[in-house]
Every structure is written in structure tokens, then in C-alpha cells.
Amino acid sequence: MRSMALALFLAFLYALGTVVILPSPQELVLGATAVAPGWAVIAMAALGRALGAYLLFSLGDRVKRWQKIQTWRGKRAQLQIWIARVEKWVNRLGAPALFFFLLIPGFPDTAMSYVLALFSRKPWAFTLAVAGASALRLTLAYLGIFYVLKHA
């Protein structure tokens, strides 16, 4: 029981870390299924990624409002153009595009999360897209691993 709780807590922390600082595939969290039920690992990982996405969005929102960043950004015309294009792309495609992008198996999505956190205007849509895609992606990976092991 204790090892299951620890595995679930570590799954939560690892999933949170994959959004914020760890450029590694989130599927590695499925190793915790050795001591905890798959559905519980997936649920904890999705919650960890949701919290990570929300924290990342909040941090990005604060950073882009800093006066030093605003001043630096204002002095560079090329940067202004690039930022305007990225913001337009992110807000035009929005959470559905993020959801489908995050479904790519094995892809470390930390960098994409940073871009979207900095340029998106909808924190809950961003958070739900990250959590939903994570839950679906991990479920598909888990079912695939389970199927391969069963039929090997």
C-alpha cells in the first residue's frame, strides 16, 4: 500500500515536471504501473500535468508583463513581428491544436508547452488541453503495452 502511494506521488511529480522542466516523454510514468493500477497512474499523471500547465501559464503570464521584458521587446522590431505571428497562430489554433499536438507519442512537449504558455490567453483551455491529451495519450500507450505483453 505504501509503495503504491509513493508510486502515485512520484507519477504526479514526474508528470508535473514533464510540463515545467523535464524534456522527456511522459510515457515513462507508466513504469509506476508495476506497483499501482494503470488507471490510477494515468489519473495522477494527468492531474500533475494539469497543475504543471496551469503553473507554467501563470508564470508565463507574469514574465511577459515584466517591465524589463516589455522594454526589451519594444526595442526589437523583428522580435515584435515574430511574437505577433506566434501569438496569432497560438490564439487562432488554440486548445484543440494543442490537444492534438500533445497526442504525438514519445514526443517531449516541454518546449511547446512554454511557447503556448507565453502566448495563449486562455489558461483553463490550455490546462484542460494538456490534461486531456495526457490522459488519452497515456491510456493509449498503456493499452498498447498491455496488448503487446498479453499477445507476446
- Contact between 129 and 109 under an 8 Å Cβ cutoff? The reply is no
Q: What is the pLDDT of residues 74-110, one digit of tens each?
A: 676 776 777 777 777 767 777 787 788 788 776 667 7
The count of domains in the chain is 1
Side-chain half-sphere exposure of 98, counting CA atoms within 13 A = 30
* Per-residue pLDDT reduced to its tens digit, 110-133: 766 777 777 777 788 888 988 999
Q: What is the pLDDT of residue 108?
A: 60
pLDDT tens sequence across 52-79: 988 888 887 777 777 776 676 667 677 6
Q: Which domain holds residue 106?
A: 2-150
H or E segment at 91?
helix 77-101
Place of cell 488507471: 39
